[in-house]
Amino acid sequence: MGNLKETLNKKIAYSELEEDLKNSLKDKEFALLVKELKLDKNTAMKKVSKLKEVIEEKKNCFNCKGIYMCKNSYQAHFLNAIIMDNRLYFTYVPCKYQKEVLKFNEKKVIRMKDIDTNDKKQLDIIKWMDNFYEDYTPTLEMKGLFLHGSFGSGKTYLLSALLNELNISKKVSIEIVYFPEALRSIKEDFDLFSYKMDKFMNTDILLIDDIGAEKVTEWGRDEVLGTILQYRMDNKKTTFFTSNLTINELEEHLSLTKSSIDKVKSRRIIERIKQLTIDKELISENRRG
Residues at the site binding ligand ADP, with contacts judged by CB under 6 A: 115-116, 119, 122, 151-157, 242, 287-288
Of 200, 189, 286, nearest to 241 by C-alpha is 200
**Given the complex with Mg ion, which of 44 and 158 has the nearer CB atom?**
158
Rounded CA separation 273/279 (Å): 9
Q: Which CB, 98 or 156, lies closer to ligand ADP?
A: 156
Distance between CA 79 and CA 75 in Å, rounded? 11
288 binds, among Mg ion, ligand ADP, none (CB under 5 to 8 A by kind): ligand ADP
Closest chain position to Mg ion (CB): 156
Question: Taking Cα atoms as reference points, which of 164, 155, 150, 167 lies closest to residue 125?
Answer: 155
145 contacts 159 by C-beta, under 8 angstroms: yes
The minimum distance between CB 244 and Mg ion, in angstroms, equals: 8
Residue 95 or 147 with smaller CB distance to Mg ion: 147
User: Residue 122 binds which one of Mg ion, ligand ADP, none, with CB within 5 to 8 A depending on kind?
Assistant: ligand ADP
**Least gap, CB of 91 to ligand ADP (angstroms):** 28
Closest approach of ligand ADP to the CB of residue 208, in Å: 12
What are the φ and ψ backbone dihedral angles of 258, each rounded to 5 degrees?
A: 65, 15
Q: Which does 221 bind (CB under 5 to 8 A by kind): Mg ion, ligand ADP, none?
A: none
Q: Residue 98: which of 120, 66, 130 has the closest Cα?
A: 66
> Is 47:189 a contact under the CB 8 Å cutoff?
no
Q: Which partner in ligand ADP, Mg ion, none is near 116 (CB below 5 to 8 A by kind)?
A: ligand ADP
Q: Dmax of the chain from CA atoms?
A: 79
* Cα dist from 87 to 36, 44, 46, 154, whole Å: 14, 12, 13, 41
Give CA–CA dist 235/227, Å, rounded: 12
Closest approach, Cβ 199 to ligand ADP, in A, equals 22
Q: Return the number of the residue (132 or 241) whose C-beta is nearest Mg ion.
A: 241
Q: Where on the chain is the footprint of Mg ion (CB under 5 A)? A: 156
Nearest residue (beta carbon) to ligand ADP: 154
Contact yes or no for 118/135 (Cβ under 8 A): no
Q: Could you say which of Mg ion, ligand ADP, none residue 180 binds, taking C-beta under 5 to 8 angstroms by partner kind? A: none
Contact status, residue 129 vs residue 112, Cβ threshold 8 Å: yes
Shortest spacing between CB 118 and ligand ADP, in angstroms: 8
Cβ proximity to ligand ADP: between 217 and 286 the closer is: 286
Give which of Mg ion, ligand ADP, none residue 153 binds (C-beta under 5 to 8 Å, depending on kind). ligand ADP
Smallest distance, Mg ion to C-beta of residue 269, A: 20
- What residues are paired with 58 via a beta bridge? none
State the binding partner of 154 from Mg ion, ligand ADP, none, CB within 5 to 8 A by kind: ligand ADP
C-beta atoms surrounding 3 within 10 Å: 7
* CB of 88 vs Mg ion, minimal distance in Å: 36
Burial bucket for residue 222 (CB in 10 Å: 0-12, 13-18, 19+) = middle
| Residues 6 or more apart whose Cβ sits within 8 Å of residue 202 | 237
Residue 143 Cβ vs Mg ion, minimum distance, rounded to whole Å: 20
Q: Which residue, 150 or 173, has its beta carbon nearer to Mg ion? A: 150
